[in-house]
Structure 1
Amino acid sequence: MKSTKSITILGETILPGQNKTIDMEIAKLHNTAKLKIPIIVERSKIDGPIVLFSAGIHGDEINGIEIVRQLIAKKINKPQRGTIICIPVINMFGFINRSREFPDGRDLNRVFPGTKKGSLASRFAYHILTEIMPLVDYAVDFHAGGASRFNVPQIRLTPNNAELKILADVFNAPFTLFSKNISGSFRNSSQKLNVKMLLFEGGKSLDINNNITAEGVNGAKRLLHHLNMLDPKHIIEEQKSKTIYIENSGWIRAQYSGLLHDNNKIGCFIKKGTALASITDPFGKFERKVKAPNDGYIINANLSPIVYQGDAIYHISKSIDDGNE
């Protein structure tokens, strides 16, 4: 069915069949240079859902930005029906500075829904939530691990949400974690607007990993195919296995300060007592093994070569659901 309905973002009207890049300008740089956040909109002439792919809420999480870039570069964002909105870099200030936060020191993913006259981060949150999200039916927000922590590719969704679980099954990342919404997060505020949002985590900050990128791009294609929005020219790779659902997990913390020697068990299922790493001092005086406290999958690893006592170094699952309930 052909659509005759226009949509408006930041005062710009986009008709069915049109594509448009809208530059979001909320504030200038301190040298008065303009700072534009491109919002790339592609619309089919045929009516359908509106899907958002976003990244860069944390400016140093480059892998998510690369995933959305590839969706655009490969023209996956040109829908067979409906509308696809791509925002590769939401926090352009942080991206320029290779920083997680906004220049005001705030974490954008903790200030939603924001306010029109609040801090810089709060103003951005307000405009995203009022100008874009009321239009959106489905969304995937792409993230990476903070600091030196590397996340295996995973979808995070709120527990007991049947609609999101179906979408997670379709996206089919290697892992799916049930996690509660955090107050002030983009995901929490979007859910209150009835947007069906998946959060993708993969890789670490200030890094591009081709395997992580491929998982994100392929998952997005599967989601669009499920919604009958993917152009048939795009090939969907055969799924090797179903996503592994993780209901409970916990952090293993360093018992000593020193040099961390990782044994590369990330993404693997390991047995209780398996040596995940060793911690040594720089002077050859001691070496202590880091052992798994239980059976489980290692879904995050701290790849920093130096750790302090109490640092979170591995995230391990505690119970596993095969997703077939």
Structure 2
Amino acid sequence: MSQKDITILGETIKPGEGKTINMEIARLHTMTKLKIPIIVERSKIDGPVVLFSAGLHGDEINGTEIVRQIITRNINKPKTGTIICMPVVNIFGFINKSREFPDGRDLNRVFPGSKMGSLASRFAYHLLKEIVPHIEYAVDFHAGGASRFNAPQIRIVPNNPELKDLSDVFNAPFTLYSKNIAGSFRNACGKLGVKMLLFEGGKSLDLNSEITEEGVQGAKRLLNELGMLNPKKTAHIAAAPTKYILTSAWVRARNSGLFQNQIKAGQYVTKGEVIAHITDPFGKFEKKVRAPHSGYIINSNDAPIVYQGDAIFHISVKLG
């Protein structure tokens, strides 16, 4: 595929070329143009086509930082094949520091979209029409929402040996089996034959250097496995094999109040261990939150205030 010309939005990129193509689907209400950069780097040598995307949710900026570093560190200049980078897919949400599009829709729930649908739906349609037909592999970078911090993890569908092999190569600290969600980018890509890994790490409206490095190093390991890694770069071996999580469970707050979290995402806790306290603002009560079972904390709520029923921890139940 790499030896052929690639045409995106009417612009052709030949083997050995690099080009930034600006996608313009709509403007702001001020008539200001919004350009979504699509950064394409091609080798002269035939090879796979890989997409690194982030910012599908506009407030999940840690993924944007991962893709930015892939670009600035010249990791996106392949030895073979083609690398396409989209650091900010939902530029509208990025500007507004919000998850959704201006029409209130979640872009990650409207795929495959419609040419004449809502703004988010139209964007999804063009993304699938112009970008996805060219790619064979993809890593879509996300972060936890609503002040919930995700330990660095890859999510793949169950019973897919090819994706499991790729997850082994990426080697994030954790890999979760999760079914595709209807209307999601991952689901749409899967139906079109694209092998996609979904990376989750950190939380919305936050940058975390450890999460960023996990994402960058995983991307390098993946490119190295595909024979695409820039020869000037080295793919570092991860400290330990990824831990596969077959099942997991949420812990929810039994009380409303000030939330004092004592555990970081990624830590192992034992059943009955005190992992947080919930207190009222007036010194009347202090409630202990104990781990209902032993496991790894794969998501931890960093909010200072919680309400009864809020998700506060996500803990692994069964490892693979």
Q: Deviations over 1:93-129 (max 9, x none)?
A: 0000001000000000000000000000000000001
SS in 2 for 1:71: helix
Letter of the 2:86 counterpart: I
Letter of the 2:208 counterpart: N
Distance 1:30 1:48 in 2: 42
SS in 1 for 2:79: coil
Distance 2:138 2:264 in 1: 31
Distance 1:75 1:197 in 2: 22
Q: What is aligned with 2:296? A: 297
Q: Aligned pair 1:237/2:236, yes or no?
A: yes
Q: What is aligned with 1:123? A: 122
SS in 2 for 1:290: strand
Q: Aligned pair 1:277/2:276, yes or no?
A: yes
- C-alpha change, 1:210 and 1:109, in structure 2 (3 Å) is same
How much identity, in percent, do the aligned residues show? Answer: 70
- Would you say the 8 A contact 1:53–1:68 is kept in 2? yes
Distance 1:182 1:85 in 2: 24
Letter of the 2:271 counterpart: K
Q: What is aligned with 2:66? A: 67
SS in 1 for 2:131: helix
Report which stretch shifted further, 64-73 or 261-270.
261-270
Letter of the 1:309 counterpart: Q
Q: With structure 1 as the length reference, what TM-score do the two structures score?
A: 0.97
Distance 1:4 1:227 in 2: 16
Q: Aligned pair 1:96/2:95, yes or no?
A: yes
1:232, distance to aligned residue in structure 2 (A):
1.9
Between the two proteins, the alignment pairs up a number of residues equal to: 320
- Would you say the 8 A contact 2:2–2:42 is kept in 1? no
The two structures, once aligned, show a CA RMSD in angstroms of: 0.9
Distance 1:270 1:145 in 2: 20
1:270, distance to aligned residue in structure 2 (A):
1.1
SS in 2 for 1:51: strand
Unpaired runs of 5+ in structure 1? none
Q: What is aligned with 2:157? A: 158
Q: With structure 2 as the length reference, what TM-score do the two structures score?
A: 0.99
Q: What is aligned with 2:195? A: 196
Q: Deviations over 1:130-160 (max 9, x none)?
A: 1110110000000000010000000000000
- Would you say the 8 A contact 1:265–1:276 is kept in 2? no
Distance 1:70 1:223 in 2: 16
1:3, distance to aligned residue in structure 2 (A):
5.7
1:231, distance to aligned residue in structure 2 (A):
1.4
1:4, distance to aligned residue in structure 2 (A):
4.0
SS in 2 for 1:297: strand
Letter of the 2:96 counterpart: N
